[in-house]
Amino acid sequence: MSELKGTVHYKTEGDVAVLVIDNPPVNPLSSGVRQGLYDHINTALADDAVRAVLIYGGGGRAFIAGADISEFGGPSKGPNLLEVLNKMEMCDKPVIAGINGTAFGGGLEVALCCHYRIALPKAQVGLPEVKLGLLPGAGGTQRLPRLVGAEAALQFILTGNPIPAAQAVQLGIVDELIDGDDIEAAGLAYARQIIDAGSKVRRIRDLTDKVKADANRPEIFEQAEALIAKRMAGQFAPTMIIECVRAAVDNADNFDAGAEVEAANFRRCLEHPQREALIHVFFGDRAVAKIPGLSKDAAPKKVAKAAVIGCGTMGGGISMCFANAGIPVTVVEMSQENLERGMKVIEGNYASQVKRGRISQEQMDQRMGLINPSIDWDQIADVDMVIEAVYENLDLKKEIFERLDGIIRDGATLASNTSALDIDSIASATKRPGDVIGMHFFSPANVMRLLEVVRGGASSDVTINTAMTMGKVLGKVAVLAGNCPGFIGNRMIARYSRQSQELILEGATPSQIDRVIRDFGLPMGPFQMADLVGLDLGWRARKMAGGSNDPIHRIGDALCDDGRYGQKNLKGYYLYREGDRTPQRDEEVEQLIRKISAELGYEPREISDEEILERCIYALVNEGAKILEDGMALRSVDIDVVYINGYGFPAYRGGPMFYANQQGLDQVLAALEKYHAATGSDAFAPSERLRKLVAEGGRFE
């Protein structure tokens, strides 16, 4: 028993046995919790004085957060969860779940095996297994359809999104919402009512009406298939979930037959590489917040007031992030005209959120009220944090930081939203480089989850902690990067973009490359992405810098010379119709590519999808390994989190470094060597880190 994790405390209050789950911080169903539940249901059964059982979660935060995710894939200890739940459901004394906080996954499945469910208003219930590449494997796919019908169950399980207790009552998942926050007192009072009414037990497994009615509604499953084709393409678990719910409907009179399908499909998910990848991402999202080596005394500074310099696309989006988090922000521009234009865009963004029902008009008014537009820099003298978000020009940024240094109070954090420039050089324009840091938001800043926090050579531990903490407050996943050109994300993407350009010069087409990348799981390929961002941005920058001789830019420049700027004017690498983002192939562009490729001396050849995928993705992986070698990322998981949250890399592949692990690093190295020999490109000169790992039989960890 001693080596089991977590426990369950047992006591009796009159004729009610009370089981309190104790496995901080969120009470997952670790081995000791399973053992405790099993043993104490037995204790309650053996005690003739006990007439009902109440179960709730200790610590106040969670009822039960689900199965213990860290146990998946490892040796199993303690009783199997299904055995425990069977014991609980078949208990002939009524068992009441007192849902005092989060009841997710296996936690909700425990509650569904109880005979009654009550919940505090702050509680949330959900079956988020799909987000881990799993399905509810402790009866959730069988009991929920019996309780609420297949349609609502599928919606709930496929999205994996939790709902508040009040909504769970409306849906019929929870019997009663409890006033106040004393779950034990409320649970005991509820148990009294059940005992007084004759201590009846009722089991969801015996409900058949809803699933029988659903047998005549094939459209429920057609809609679910359509949902996964549209939103979850490439993922394994959703198809397994639909099969399980169908089995619940097909076996209305035979619960155990449906449960067998669930058990078999759960095992398939558990053994699938997507499950391992998604659990890596779950722990990765949390690991990136942990920064080894920072001083314990370096507490983050409180940010009660902020300022943003520049009200363009990035500055406007960043201002919205502060307002969304309830922090007053002054956004400063050089001219009244720029300011008004930027504020109109912010207002338009909020208005469209109101229109789509994402926020209320009142929330919009409140958020707009937190954004103070100004052209008077003196107004920001007393803020706690400033984020500069003007266009990418080092001299301009240095000028701004020098000015900020003269205005802003001592001790404030001065951040730059640069996506690639040298933070140390920017910091050198101030007399307080320790307070300067990079905070690189991704566009649109109010939507994208990633924040790269870029540590300059002089950034203090307090400054780093303040920026990382602010990332969390703003609802972002903050990842710490070192100060190198492009940091983590853009340094890697440069390799990928270059490969895509080389591939079209060698004979592939933009639509072939984009299809391969979409099939791999990214929401769009590099050419669709370039059209979305605007081809003219790079073209103008190159012109301002006196033009570029790099053949890689020949096609992009030729398209812009021809007035093709991308989606903004309905033609770029593709053609677009007004109001429709679907790219249409354009023969004219393909001819132009062939012409430029011939001028540059390329002999067009058939390029396989496999080569496209390997060259694009392994170029990312190899650069990621070099970033690790240079100490610019703390761990490989930080790179994975950057790519998933900032660049649309499919979470179910775990990020580029994890994907490389799953492919086998020796395979990746062999492919890099092959492409290095064939193309001579630096992108494929294998990193020393990768060679070393292959020699040692290691993995990116």
Give the active site residues.
109, 129
| Residues 6 or more apart in contact with residue 552 via CB below 8 angstroms | 498, 501, 502, 505
Whether the link from the prior residue into 25 is cis, omega within 30° of 0, is yes
Tell me the DSSP string of 10-77.
Answer: EEEETTEEEEEEE-TTT--B-HHHHHHHHHHHHHHHH-TT--EEEEEETTSSEEE--B-GGGTTS---
User: Which of 6, 32, 78, 128 touches ligand 3H9 by CB under 6 A?
Assistant: 128
Contact 130, 157 (CB under 8 A): yes
Contact 331, 372 (CB under 8 A): yes
User: Which of 136, 149, 556, 656 touches ligand 3H9 by CB under 6 A?
Assistant: 136
Binding of ligand 3H9 by 492 (CB under 6 A): no
Binding of ligand 3H9 by 88 (CB under 6 A): no
Binding of ligand 3H9 by 132 (CB under 6 A): yes
Which residues within the stretch 13-32 sit at the binding site for ligand 3H9 (CB under 6 A)? 25-26, 28
Please, what is the minimum distance in Å from the beta carbon of residue 443 to ligand 3H9? 26
User: Which of 32, 36, 66, 646 touches ligand 3H9 by CB under 6 A?
Assistant: 66
> By C-beta, is 103 or 555 nearer to ligand 3H9?
103
Using the contact rule CB under 6 A, the part of the chain among 99-107, 436-444, 526-534, 573-581 near ligand 3H9 is 99-107
Please, what is the minimum distance in Å from the beta carbon of residue 267 to ligand 3H9? 10
Binding of ligand 3H9 by 105 (CB under 6 A): yes
| Residues 6 or more apart in contact with residue 251 via CB below 8 angstroms | 257, 258, 261
Please, what is the minimum distance in Å from the beta carbon of residue 266 to ligand 3H9? 6
Binding of ligand 3H9 by 104 (CB under 6 A): yes
Chain centroid to CA 410: how far?
Answer: 36
> By C-beta, is 129 or 514 nearer to ligand 3H9?
129
Binding of ligand 3H9 by 125 (CB under 6 A): no
Which residues within the stretch 286-305 sit at the binding site for ligand 3H9 (CB under 6 A)? 286
In sequence order, what are the beta bridge partners of 373? 331
User: Which of 91, 113, 134, 147 touches ligand 3H9 by CB under 6 A?
Assistant: 134
Binding of ligand 3H9 by 401 (CB under 6 A): no
Which residues within the stretch 184-243 sit at the binding site for ligand 3H9 (CB under 6 A)? none
Binding of ligand 3H9 by 607 (CB under 6 A): no
User: Which of 17, 33, 54, 69 touches ligand 3H9 by CB under 6 A?
Assistant: 69
> By C-beta, is 26 or 596 nearer to ligand 3H9?
26
The torsion angles phi and psi of 108, rounded to 5 degrees, stand at -70, -35
> By C-beta, is 270 or 359 nearer to ligand 3H9?
270
Which residues within the stretch 336-395 sit at the binding site for ligand 3H9 (CB under 6 A)? none
Tell me the DSSP string of 415-441.
Answer: EE--SSS-HHHHHTTSS-GGGEEEEEE
Binding of ligand 3H9 by 557 (CB under 6 A): no
Order of strands, sheet of 116-119, starting from the edge strand that comes earlier in the sequence = 7-13, 16-22, 52-57, 95-99, 116-119, 176-177
- The long-range contacts involving 251-254, CB below 8 angstroms and separated by at least 24 positions, are 252/208, 252/211, 252/212, 252/215, 253/208
Distance in angstroms (rounded) separating the CA atoms of residues 572 and 559: 7
Binding of ligand 3H9 by 697 (CB under 6 A): no
Distance in angstroms (rounded) separating the CA atoms of residues 144 and 689: 49
Using the contact rule CB under 6 A, the part of the chain among 68-76, 241-249, 358-366, 628-636 near ligand 3H9 is 68-76
Distance in angstroms (rounded) separating the CA atoms of residues 7 and 598: 71
Contact 431, 403 (CB under 8 A): no
Binding of ligand 3H9 by 58 (CB under 6 A): no
Binding of ligand 3H9 by 102 (CB under 6 A): yes
Binding of ligand 3H9 by 439 (CB under 6 A): no
> By C-beta, is 106 or 646 nearer to ligand 3H9?
106
Backbone region of residue 216 per phi and psi (left: phi > 0; alpha: psi in -120 to 50; beta: other values): alpha
Distance in angstroms (rounded) separating the CA atoms of residues 251 and 316: 55
User: Which of 18, 81, 245, 690 touches ligand 3H9 by CB under 6 A?
Assistant: 81
Please, what is the minimum distance in Å from the beta carbon of residue 448 to ligand 3H9? 20
Contact 134, 97 (CB under 8 A): no
Please, what is the minimum distance in Å from the beta carbon of residue 246 to ligand 3H9? 18
The torsion angles phi and psi of 282, rounded to 5 degrees, stand at -55, -50
> By C-beta, is 137 or 433 nearer to ligand 3H9?
137
Distance in angstroms (rounded) separating the CA atoms of residues 283 and 68: 12
Residue with tokens 């392994």: 618
User: Which of 70, 76, 167, 569 touches ligand 3H9 by CB under 6 A?
Assistant: 70
Binding of ligand 3H9 by 68 (CB under 6 A): yes
> By C-beta, is 98 or 140 nearer to ligand 3H9?
140
Binding of ligand 3H9 by 36 (CB under 6 A): no
What stretch of H or E contains 212? helix 209-214
> By C-beta, is 40 or 275 nearer to ligand 3H9?
275
Whether the link from the prior residue into 551 is cis, omega within 30° of 0, is no
Binding of ligand 3H9 by 129 (CB under 6 A): yes
In sequence order, what are the beta bridge partners of 414? 386, 436
User: Of 36, 50, 116, whose CA–CA distance to 84 is shortest?
Assistant: 36
CB neighbours of residue 198 within 10 Å = 7
User: Which of 36, 94, 106, 238 touches ligand 3H9 by CB under 6 A?
Assistant: 106
Binding of ligand 3H9 by 316 (CB under 6 A): no
Strands 95-99 and 163-164: unpaired
Please, what is the minimum distance in Å from the beta carbon of residue 577 to ligand 3H9? 41
The 137-156 contact track toward ligand 3H9, x by CB under 6 A, reads: xx-x----------------
Strands 163-164 and 124-126: antiparallel
> By C-beta, is 69 or 277 nearer to ligand 3H9?
69
Distance in angstroms (rounded) separating the CA atoms of residues 176 and 116: 9
Contact 91, 41 (CB under 8 A): yes
Contact 371, 331 (CB under 8 A): yes
> By C-beta, is 10 or 72 nearer to ligand 3H9?
72
Binding of ligand 3H9 by 276 (CB under 6 A): no
Please, what is the minimum distance in Å from the beta carbon of residue 106 to ligand 3H9? 3
Binding of ligand 3H9 by 57 (CB under 6 A): no
> By C-beta, is 26 or 524 nearer to ligand 3H9?
26
Contact 27, 63 (CB under 8 A): yes
Please, what is the minimum distance in Å from the beta carbon of residue 73 to ligand 3H9? 12
Q: How many residues in the shown chain lie near ligand 3H9 by CB under 6 A?
A: 25
Please, what is the minimum distance in Å from the beta carbon of residue 353 to ligand 3H9? 24
Please, what is the minimum distance in Å from the beta carbon of residue 61 to ligand 3H9? 7
Distance in angstroms (rounded) separating the CA atoms of residues 165 and 153: 16
Q: Which residues bind ligand 3H9 (CB under 6 A)?
A: 25-26, 28, 62, 65-70, 81, 102, 104-106, 109, 128-129, 132, 134, 136-138, 140, 286
